[in-house]
Amino acid sequence: MPDPSPFSHPHADRRLPEGLRLRAAEQRDVAGITELSNLPLYRAGTQRLPFQSEDVTARWLGSGGEAASTVVVAELDGRIVGLGGLHRQTGRRQHVAILGLGVHDDFQRLGIGVALLDALLDAAFNWLQIRRVELTVFSDNAGAIALYERAGFRGEGLLRAYAFRNGAYADVIAMARMSWDLGFEPAQAGS
Ligand SMILES: CC(C)(COP(=O)(O)OP(=O)(O)OC[C@H]1O[C@@H](n2cnc3c(N)ncnc32)[C@H](O)[C@@H]1OP(=O)(O)O)[C@@H](O)C(=O)NCCC(=O)NCCS
């Protein structure tokens, strides 16, 4: 039997905002995701461009395709307060997904990031047969790095001047979590 909570970590029992709901992103979320993408802290932690339009969001949301992408929104009182996605790779890297994650500037540090991350790791390892989840994070984004490390991600290297951010080139750290990290192994057929 698979471990029912393979992603238990120090945040597993924290209280989430009442009414928080995680669900698949839909086309009707385009406005909410666009609002999120244009927030200053959100943009600084991600690769979003300034003045992202709803057209750009709609194309991004529509381009993944069912097999390639799992996109989850966190909704609170009808508002999109977080977004996370897994973008599955192809060919000999089909066991790999690239993870993206972000929480609304006004709703950070409430446990929404960890809830989204847990849901995405559960989807990846328990349902999609993904064995490696990888990401890049700005090397000075201490909060995000702490979140990922506490969920079992390990740093794999520094990529210098990876992206332009707020007037300067910024480094990122490549991080990854394997399905077998933290002692978790997916259930074998018949077990
Ligand atoms: C990074 C981010 C996703 C974290 O989401 P969040 O909902 O604010 O985080 P949580 O409340 O779930 O925090 C879980 C843990 O992560 C760590 N953490 C999160 N933000 C932190 C911060 N600003 N400083 C230090 N640790 C932090 C802590 O260990 C925290 O646990 P604690 O509150 O019990 O100490 C969010 O701050 C964010 O979206 N930032 C802007 C976009 C971004 O940077 N995305 C990451 C791209 S790689």
142-181 burial string, b = 16+ CB within 10 Å, else e? Answer: eebbebbeebbbeeeeeeeebeebeeeebebbbbbbbbeb
**Segments making up each domain of the chain, as ranges:** 21-135
% of the chain at pLDDT higher than 70: 85
Decide if 88 contacts 67 (C-beta within 8 A).
Answer: yes
- Ligand 1 geometric centre to CA of 190 (Å): 38
Query: Residue 182 pLDDT > 70, yes or no?
Result: no
pLDDT one-digit tens code per residue, 29-38: 999 999 999 9
- Distance between CA atoms of residues 3 and 188, nearest Å: 12
**pLDDT the model gives residue 11:** 53
pTM value is 0.90
Higher per-residue pLDDT: 8 or 37? 37
Query: Residue 74 pLDDT > 90, yes or no?
Result: yes
**pLDDT the model gives residue 15:** 76
Residue in 35, 80, 108, 141 to alter for ligand 1 test, most ligand atoms within 8 A of Cβ: 108
Q: Is 144's C-beta closer than 6 angstroms to any atom of ligand 1?
A: yes
Sheet of 69-76, strand order: 21-24, 69-76, 79-88, 96-103, 132-138, 168-178, 154-165
Higher per-residue pLDDT: 156 or 67? 156
Structure tokens, 156: 């794999």
Q: Is 12's C-beta closer than 6 angstroms to any atom of ligand 1?
A: no
pLDDT one-digit tens code per residue, 104-136: 999 999 999 999 999 999 999 999 999 999 999
Higher per-residue pLDDT: 128 or 64? 128
Cα dihedral angle (28, 104, 155, 68), rounded to 10 degrees? Answer: 0
Q: Is 152's C-beta closer than 6 angstroms to any atom of ligand 1?
A: no
- Ligand 1 geometric centre to CA of 41 (Å): 11
CATH number, domain 21-135: 3.40.630.30
Query: Residue 191 pLDDT > 50, yes or no?
Result: no
Confidence of residue 185 (pLDDT cuts 50, 70, 90): low
Q: Is 112's C-beta closer than 6 angstroms to any atom of ligand 1?
A: yes
Angle at 88 between CA 106 and CA 14, to 5 degrees: 35
Higher per-residue pLDDT: 115 or 7? 115
Q: Is 141's C-beta closer than 6 angstroms to any atom of ligand 1?
A: yes
Query: Residue 4 pLDDT > 60, yes or no?
Result: no
